[in-house]
Amino acid sequence: KQEVTQIPAALSVPEGENLVLNCSFTDSAIYNLQWFRQDPGKGLTSLLLIQSSQREQTSGRLNASLDKSSGRSTLYIAASQPGDSATYLCAVRGAKDGSARQLTFGSGTQLTVLP
Amino acid sequence: ETGVTQSPTHLIKTRGQQVTLRCSSQSGHNTVSWYQQALGQGPQFIFQYYREEENGRGNFPPRFSGLQFPNYSSELNVNALELDDSALYLCASAIQGAAQYFGPGTRLTVL
């Protein structure tokens, strides 16, 4: 059974800092990995999707990397802003029959960027 | 905005009642998935529908059931509500195998 862990659970940084959020997963047989942002009480906004054959994806100030063999992904946020404050979730889609139907999520990292 | 909508936004029910939550998928998407998110946790997969058939299910009891309609809208039904069913319910639509796009969720409170 796939398990996804995100460290740290919470992070508070001053505005302008570069930061890294970590995600690890136990089963390396994945189809893809997705990073999401969730504002309090709201739905999920997809930030980046990395296919299993890819090593990284970039969008603006965000860069996500994937090391499938070691079961790790990182989300790098450059020059953080107060508007980046939210919970960041990573989720993996399995590559095996059955597991491919679902996303398995970590519990998220709650990020606060202080002005 | 993802183009996925959910209704209602909030709902309060009492233990033992039944509830129906609704989702309208993004245009062109043929797959819809439902997730339950308890406070402070990541979403948990309930089930997925593809072309009106359930084709994947997480670790949820049969009192959680669903429907997908020809226009790709979807319903999640929960019977015999329990206090632990209180959560944010999210639906996500996709083209089969591609990235999932989530709706804003329905907050269900069971008293």
**What pLDDT band is residue B94 in, cutting at 50, 70 and 90?**
confident
Q: Report residue A100: phi and psi, to 5°.
A: -70, -10
pLDDT along chain A (115 residues), means of 10: 94 96 95 94 91 94 96 97 97 78 92 96
By C-alpha distance, the chain B residue nearest A100 is B97
Q: Region B31-39: what's the mean pLDDT?
A: 94
Shortest distance, CA A17 to any CA of chain B (angstroms): 25
Checking DSSP bridges between strand B53-57 and strand B44-50, what pairing results, if any? antiparallel
Shortest distance, CA A104 to any CA of chain B (angstroms): 7
Residues of A in contact with B99 (CB under 8 A): 32, 34, 46, 49
| Of residues B43, B88, B105, nearest to A105 (C-beta) | B43
Answer yes or no: do B97 and A105 touch at CB < 8 A: no
Average pLDDT score over chain A: 93
Answer yes or no: do A91 and B42 touch at CB < 8 A: yes
| B60 in contact with chain A, both atoms CB, cutoff 8 A | no
Residues 35-54 of chain A with CB under 8 A from chain B are: 36, 41-46, 49
Gyration radius of chain A's alpha carbons: 14
Q: How many Cβ atoms sit within 10 Å of the Cβ of residue B43? A: 29
pLDDT at residue B71, as a whole number? 84
CA nearest neighbour of B25 among B104, B94, B107 = B94
